[in-house]
Structure 1
């Protein structure tokens, strides 16, 4: 297969909900926090938290219900993270969506640059414990590396810079509305996965699998810059 049209192109992956099946563990951790704070929490509210920082998530959950100062916010979000990490460490390699390593291996046969861009400060540890092969990626950007969370495009632009590819030559794979919006603001292509209401995307699929590789090739073939 001639892959010249994939040269100087990049695919940037979100981590939670795209490569790793970690959404349920976020929900369980926030549910425990909500119970401790005696505030109502359900899956509909949890959906609003996808793709945003822990602090912003807590503010969404508690808005108009209780007042928290910065010290309390830090203590609560730190506890939420500890609960989440306890869940995912027990899950281990069960975190990895089926077929992801095969999907990435197929992309690595091409000139495409691959990067992870996650708002999670836990991203390096999640990659380690999940069995996701780190050497598939040319760069990893985590919440430790930037200050402005999605829908700000900072994290995606940083990933593009690390792999040396212009933003307009990047395709972002995301499962959260905030992430899709961040990609749009960065003027990158959008590949939405999962069942969330993501709005208009260049590509959509329920999950990533080998059959989706052709969608990525077709996108870049039709979006020469």
Structure 2
């Protein structure tokens, strides 16, 4: 059971980016921005090497890849597709695999212009982040599995770069183990300069079950937004959030914040 009202004053906040702050379904593409770039990259490299399994990856397979993957990352989702079409024998990601590296690199190249053209914050996300900046005396951070330059590009275009200090932006290049491992949230928490005993009063905002698990393992109070997964799906996971809402307006109400 999740709470509808927060019963303490938060000392800090840590945000995921994709589908938590960034609306990956903005624009007219009709699909998630990451999914769009990933499918283009997979099919392009498949055509380059005449790998029919990659060329024929369906929209449905591609969409489900990140949820089925063993880790929440570009490499994890691409590897999952490679595993499903029979190119590799194990679902455990081999980060040294040459084909994986090439597809992931191409996906990154394709994603940045799509992000800059279509990327936009979720409704009221900017106002909420600014309110949390004030409420926590500027102790807010990012813990994202996305590439750092893409995170920074989004923060700049969304107007959030003024409230997230660069040293508090933890992205894929900063850690080794992707979510559901807590490493990214652990690093983000350390940037807040709070006591270890304060972890339970730091809010972690996530949208994905793997991210929820990572934040909970870091000892944080987890708030999940239903931008991609329903409340029922989030609550069926092995590790569940402390609070679930469908919008930042609802979170603001739970925290007693006026946006």
| TM category, shorter | 0.7 to 0.9
Listed as ranges, the gaps of 5+ residues in structure 1 are 219-225
Report 1:40-189 matches (<5 A): 40-43=57-60, 45-49=62-66, 52-67=72-87, 70-91=97-118, 94-111=119-136, 113-121=139-147, 122-128=150-156, 130-138=157-165, 139-165=168-194, 166=196, 167-189=199-221
CA contact (8 A) 2:203 2:220 kept: yes
Matched, 1:203 2:243: yes
Whether the 8 Å CA contact 2:125–2:248 is kept in 1: the answer is: yes
Q: TM-score, normalised by structure 1?
A: 0.82
Q: Quick one: distance in 2 between partners of 1:177 and 1:48?
A: 14
Q: In the aligned structure 2, how far is the partner of 1:217 from the partner of 1:202? A: 17
CA contact (8 A) 2:175 2:183 kept: yes
CA contact (8 A) 2:123 2:247 kept: no
Partner deviation per Cα, 1:126-179 (whole Å, 9 max, x = no partner):
222x32322223521111211110000000010000011233332211011110
Aligned partners of 1:44 and 1:70: how far apart in 2? 21
Matches within 5 A, 1:12-51: 12-22=14-24, 24-36=32-44, 37-43=54-60, 45-49=62-66
Write the distance in 1 (CA, Å) between the matches of 2:115 and 2:41: 17
Unmatched tracts of structure 2, length 5 or more:
1-7, 26-31, 45-53, 89-95
Q: Which stretch has the larger CA shift, 175-184 or 165-174? A: 165-174
Calculate the TM-score normalised by the size of structure 2: 0.72
Counting matched residue pairs gives: 209
Q: 2:92 corresponds to which residue?
A: none
CA–CA separation in structure 2 for the residues paired with 1:175 and 1:44: 20
Per-residue deviation at 1:84? Answer: 1.2
Q: Secondary structure, in 3 states, of the residue corresponding to 2:18? A: coil
